[in-house]
Amino acid sequence: MSIKPYLDRVLETYTSGKLYEEVKKARQEFCERTGRVAEGDETFENQMNGFLDWYLFDRPMDKDQISPVKLFVLEHAGHIDAADREIFDDLTKSNHSLFELLKVKGEDVYVKDLFTGEKYIVEDSDVNRGFTKGDIFEARLVKFRDRLVFGQSFVFHPRAVRSFILKQIKAIKYLDASQRLRLIHRLASMRLKTEQYSHIDVLHIYTENPLF
């Protein structure tokens, strides 16, 4: 069984009815942080996955000031069986970060968190194709049934900007989680611009003072 049905339960609870306007507001906030993609664009689906990932795991709800996954556990603790409660508890402890791909061995993906230096193995991963050793990418790791799985959203950064990204990480790696997320989103915005301005050298986009 996959993690998706559990995420769908949280999503359905905190996106419908009276919360529709909050979802619209959140979508606008996400676009301001990472850039706007037109529906129908080839990058639209991945950005929507990124938005839903951020909305569920990271963004505090306006009223309760905690994320939907945490709020779901608080509000439904008495109605969830023990096995499911453990899964939902683990959702509240996910790791959204920038990772380096160390290797792929069979269906196992080995990565290193570039903020902490911690190494992880995503065993029997459904996502194990298209990786190249040394890739730097944004992703979320979630514990599910005693193993790590990837979230639904990935942002792969150009290999040419590795040194720029590592320098940015070094500058803020000891600051709080909000600063890390701000950097992750700023880099995602730059990555989107490389698609929108494909004729521009990526080194002119991934810079302290981008012109675009």
Identity of the residue numbered 50: G
pLDDT in tens, 2-40: 899 999 999 999 998 889 999 999 999 999 999 999 888
CATH classification of the domain holding 118: 2.40.50
> Total domain count for the chain?
3
pLDDT band at 134 (very low <50, low <70, confident <90, very high): very high
Residue 212 lies in a domain: no
Predicted pLDDT of residue 59: 97
The reply to whether 106 and 178 lie within a common domain is no
- Give the model confidence (pLDDT) of 190-205 as tens digits: 999 999 999 999 999 9
Comparing 110 with 79, the larger pLDDT belongs to 110
Tell me how far apart the alpha carbons of residues 31 and 48 are, in angstroms, rounded to a whole number.
10
Q: What is the pLDDT of residue 211?
A: 75
Angstrom distance (rounded) from CA 67 to CA 37? 24
Is the pTM higher than 0.85? The answer reads yes
Position 61 confidence tier, pLDDT thresholds 50, 70, 90: very high
> In the prediction, which pLDDT does 90 show?
94
Q: Are 152 and 53 within 8 A, CB to CB? A: yes
- Judgement on whether residues 145 and 106 belong to the same structural domain of the protein: yes
Residues 54 and 11 in one domain: yes
Indicate if the alpha-carbon torsion angle 189, 150, 140, 25 is positive or negative. Answer: positive
180 lies in the same domain as 144: no
Per-residue model confidence (pLDDT) at position 58:
96
Residue range of the domain that includes 128: 95-157
1 pLDDT higher than 70: no
Give the single-character DSSP code of 78: G
Percentage of the chain modeled with pLDDT above 90: 81
Return the pLDDT at 38.
87
Spatial distance between the Cα atoms of 194 and 8, rounded to a whole number of angstroms: 31
Q: Percentage of the chain surpassing pLDDT 70?
A: 99
